[in-house]
Chains A and B, each alone.
Chain A
Amino acid sequence: MLLRTENLSKHFGGLRAVDGIDFELEEGEVRGLIGPNGSGKSTFFNLVSGIYRPDEGSRIRIGGQDTTHFEPHRIAALGVARTFQLLRVFSEMTVLENLLVGHHLHVAYGPVAAVLGTRRMRNEERRVREEMMELLAFIGLADFAAMLASELSVGQRRLLALGRAMAMRPRLLMLDEPAAGLSPVNVDNLLRIIVGLKERYGLTVIIVEHILRVVMDTCEKVTVLDHGQKIAEGTPDEVKTDHAVIEAYLGREMEDDEVRRVLQG
């Protein structure tokens, strides 16, 4: 078991954003996490990655360690990488530097070596730059390495955010709406990249996505949230026909035609 949550909860004032979620994820799985707007998907990510403090009584275990009260950088050190719905790339840093920060935990030299400019430090710096350039080539941003992240298009920034997470060489990759705002062609590209990454590095992945085709095509298993609670879990086909899921989506007149089409079809 790579990730397990027990009774995971988070409230904001009177609002139960995440409400007693028990969640289990096996190593190597690609899991979809879906639910209507405001159902608690991003909050779930923020809890697992340590950005929010869970409520009393919650438990999070990652790779057998109790991480309920870990700070985010310690969770990152366990091999958990995530992207953000609003991207949060480092705007005033170059594209390459963004990945280098992602690789932070794997850059093996300290400040003293940096000041002395030791051979080891210079070799290490050359190595990580080469590796990050390779990764940039893989996600198709190599030509932009020296540009500031703020100069990229929104779609390119999305790729950069994914690249930064990959630079962490994670075991568990959590993607919060990686395809939002991408054109259909780019969504296909992104899918290829995600599947490619998964095969290449043997990752475990959780994808939050509103474009249900992405989830249905890539995930073996899907978890559905509504009002902070887990209302269904199973294969895409099982979930599609689940009564509670259809109600959660259609009962509230979603505007997204695609949701309706995919769920009914």
Chain B
Amino acid sequence: MAEQAASLRFIDATERGLTRLRAVHPLAPWLVAFLLLAPLPWVLLNTYHVFLANFICVMILLSVGLNIVKGFCGQVTVGHVGLYAIGAYTAAVMSVNFGMTFWMSLPIAVMVTLLAGAVVGIPSFRLEGAYLALVTLGLGESVRIFISATEYLGATNGFSGIPAPRIGDFRFDTYQKYYYLVMPVMLLGVFFSFRILRSRLGRGFMAVREDPVAAAAAGVNVRGHKMIAFLISAGYAGFAGALYAHMIPGYLNPRNFTVIEMVTLLLMVVLGGLGHIWGGVIGAIIVTIVYDITKDYYHYSLLLFGSVIVLTVLFMPKGIGGIIDRFIATRRFIAIREGRATRPGSDDAA
């Protein structure tokens, strides 16, 4: 069919383009991605959409991190939003109460979140599946409850007055400007995850997910890998939290870190594709946009997103990432059968 031929041509062209770019320099595709994303604030029609673009970048960081520990390392952690809150509030306190600049509050927020990540990681040494989910859910919720009850953190009134980051006299005090802070960090985060997951460490994560006993017998330090996965994902949450805190209006509220946010975040990873290298990115983009469109029905979103998670797990366990993979594989297969293309492996040889 003409349509199939066209999609295959598109897939092949994209792949050839990528291969050529990588031949120029391994980082070239990332530079191209940056250049493609850079004009976005000028393309989007209104400021609200630019805000959304910023927020999507933050969510990508968060869900890419979660996908590492959950999708790749197989640790069912639910309270990830708690780490995000810790990152955000640490950055807020450091800059408002201790007068630090963003460039100091960010690394401190990341370090504190790493510590918290280690605390979440320890139960994973002993617990699995639903039990680990319960413990992490409890830890995540207790962060929110602690914040809601602590006057120093603004309690339920929220924490305001977090300054915009600045370099010299330049302040990232509009969404347009902030985009050029958060987008590069997001790209770096995605880049980092690709490199890690396609390495020895990433294979170790997957082996722990597939079968910890067999992984250990193959020489994989199972606890070590679990801990590293928790730490990496916590690092992402720390970055995401600090970037969210310093984004205008510089205001945090415990209401932004509830069970609804937990479910939304889970949905991102599940829908995007648990253990798919693009899973966190795809999921964060789609879910954030859908969430925004349906925000008038906020009170139903738990129900809506919860049921989408269940349906996704039941009917497309590998998420959208998996469906795209299969789409490409099927197109190739049809093409090979009709003698119109070579086997996928043969590109590499050429």
Please list the residues of chain A having a beta carbon within 8 angstroms of any beta carbon in chain B: 49-51, 71-73, 76-77, 81-82, 84, 88-93, 97, 100-102, 104-105, 107, 109, 111, 114-115, 117, 121, 125, 146, 164, 168
Contact = CB atoms under 8 A, between A and B. Distances in A.
Contacts of A97: 203, 206
B221 to A, nearest CB: 5
A71 B345 CA distance: 39
8 contacts: A73-B220, A88-B211, A91-B210, A100-B200, A101-B206, A104-B200, A104-B218, A114-B199
B61 to A, nearest CB: 16
A86 to B, nearest CB: 10
Given A114-B199, A115-B192, A101 B215 contact: yes
A45 B115 CA distance: 38
Contact of A111 (B196, B211, B219): B196
Interface of B: 26, 192, 195-196, 198-201, 203-204, 206-207, 209-211, 213-222, 228, 275, 345
B204 A104 contact: yes
B199 A90 contact: no
Contact of B204 (A88, A101, A121, A164): A101
A107 B204 CA distance: 11
B200 A114 contact: yes
B203 A51 contact: no
Nearest to B317: A92
Contacts of A81: 217-218
Given A90-B210, A111-B201, A146-B345, A51 B219 contact: no
Contact of B219 (A88, A104, A121): A104
A137 to B, nearest CB: 15
A49 B217 contact: yes
A90 B217 contact: no
A176 to B, nearest CB: 11
B339 to A, nearest CB: 20
B219 A168 contact: yes
Which of B26, B207, B228 is the most central at the interface, judged by chain A CB atoms within 10 Å of its CB? Answer: B207
Contacts of A51: 213, 216-217
Contacts of B213: 51, 72, 84, 88
A118 to B, nearest CB: 11
Given A72-B216, A164-B218, 8 more contacts: A73-B220, A73-B222, A76-B217, A84-B214, A93-B207, A104-B207, A114-B195, A146-B345
Contacts of B203: 93, 97, 100-101, 104
B64 to A, nearest CB: 14
Given A71-B216, A73-B221, A90-B214, A101 B199 contact: no
Contact of A76 (B196, B204, B211, B219): B219
